[in-house]
Amino acid sequence: SLLLNMMQLSELVLEIIRLSVELADIRGTRPVIVIGANIPRIMLIVFAATVLLLVGANADTPANCTYQDIVGNWIFYEGDRNNTGSLLCDKIGTVSRKVKVELLSPNVAVDEYGNKGTWTVVYNQGFEVTVNGRTFFAFSYYEQDGGNVTSICSRTFPGWSHDVTLHHWACYYGRKQGSLQSKLHQDPFASLSEWEGGISEETHQQIVQRVNSVQSSWTAKVHRPFLNYTHQHLLNLHGGKR
C-alpha cells in the first residue's frame, strides 16, 4: 500500500543517515549529525514529511473539527507499543492501555499523572498531542454519504503514537469525554470523482465569455494548455481542496 511504501522509504532514509555517520567516523570527519542528539529530530522530520506526503496523495479529509471541538478531556485507547514506524493503523487490535489527557488552552496537554506537554490541531482534520515522552497523532472522525459529511469530532480514526526516539510505535484511537454534537455539512468536492471527462474548448470559451461580459478591467482568454484537463486535474493544480 502507499502507506507501507512511504514508511519503508522513511526507514531507508534513516538508514542512509546512519551509514553516512559511520562512514564519517571511519574517515575521521564527524559531520554535524550526531546520533545521540540529532537523529531523533531527523527521524521526526522524516516521519512528518511522510505524513504530509500521505495526506497530499490522498487529498484532504472532509472533516471539519475546530480547535474548540478538540479542547477538553480525552482517553486514548492504545495498542501494543513494540512496533516500528512501518506500522499500519487501519485497525487497532487489542487495547493494551488507556491514556487520559486533558487538552487545555492555548496548547497545554496534561495527563492523569500531572505530566505536562503540548498539543496542536492539524488544520481542521486532526490533532497531535505530546505528553510524558510520547506523541499521538490521529485524524478526526467523519462519516460521508455522497456530498453529506458528518464530522464526529469527539472521536478519531485509528492513528499512531511513538516515544521521543521514534521507536516503540503503537496504534490508538481517541474518545472525547462528555457530549459533543456532530456537525453536518456539505462537501463541495464530493462530485469531482464523477467528472471524469476532460473540459472541452467550447466549455472554456463559454466561461471566458461569461467572465468578460461582467467586467472590462481585464480580458479573459482560454489558456490552451488546460484544454481537456479534467476538473480533478485542475483542482490538483490549484493545490487541492481548501
User: Do both 89 and 170 map to the same domain?
Assistant: yes
Angle (nearest 5°) at CA 130 between 74 and 91: 60
All residues at 6 or more sequence positions from 81 whose CB lies less than 8 Å from its CB, including other chains? 96, 161, 163, 168, 169, 170
Q: Residue 106: which domain range?
A: 67-186
- Tell me, what CATH number does 151's domain have? 2.40.128.80
Residues 36 and 20 in one domain: yes
pTM: 0.61
- Residue 195 grid cell: 467528472
Handedness of CA 46, 17, 1, 162 (dihedral sign): negative
Residue 82: strand, helix, or coil: coil
With a cut of 50, say whether residue 1 has pLDDT above it: no
Q: At what angle do helices 35-58 and 2-27 cross, to 10 degrees?
A: 150
pLDDT in tens, 45-58: 445 444 544 444 44
Cβ partners under 8 Å of residue 51, min gap 6: 137
Give the rounded percent of residues in the chain with a pLDDT score beyond 90: 42
- Decide which of 192 and 173 is more confident: 173
Place of cell 526507514: 11
C-alpha cell at 223: 489558456
Do 72 and 182 share a domain, yes or no? yes
Q: Which residues contact 206 (CB under 8 A, 6 or more apart)?
A: none
| Most confident option among 59-63, 175-179, 197-201 | 175-179
Residue 122 β-bridge partners: 126
Pairing of strands 108-111, 183-186: unpaired
Q: Are residues 111 and 160 in the same domain?
A: yes
What pLDDT is recorded for position 143? 95
Q: What average pLDDT does range 176-203 have in this prediction?
A: 75
CB 143 within 8 A of CB 48: no
Answer yes or no: do 225 and 123 share one domain: no
Section 61-80 average pLDDT: 95
Q: What gap in Å lies between CA 1 and CA 19, rounded to an integer?
A: 27
What's the domain count of the chain? 3
pLDDT > 90? residue 77: yes
Rounded-to-integer distance, Cα 16 and Cα 72, Å: 41
Q: How far apart are CA 136 and CA 206, in angstroms?
A: 50
| Mean pLDDT for all residues in the chain | 79
Does 170 have pLDDT greater than 90?
yes
Residue, of 41 and 102, whose pLDDT is higher = 102
Q: Do 169 and 207 share a domain, yes or no? A: no
Nearest-angstrom CA–CA distance, 94 and 19: 36
pLDDT average, residue stretch 178-201: 73
Q: Residue 106 has what pLDDT?
A: 96
pLDDT at 74: 98
Residues 110, 175, single domain; the answer is: yes
User: Is 110 found in the same domain as 22?
Assistant: no
- Both 80 and 159 in a single domain? yes
Task: Kindly state the DSSP code that residue 199 receives in the 8-state scheme.
Answer: P
Model confidence at 60, in pLDDT bands (50, 70, 90)? confident
Compute the average pLDDT of residues 223-239: 74
Task: Supply 39's cell numbers.
Answer: 537523529
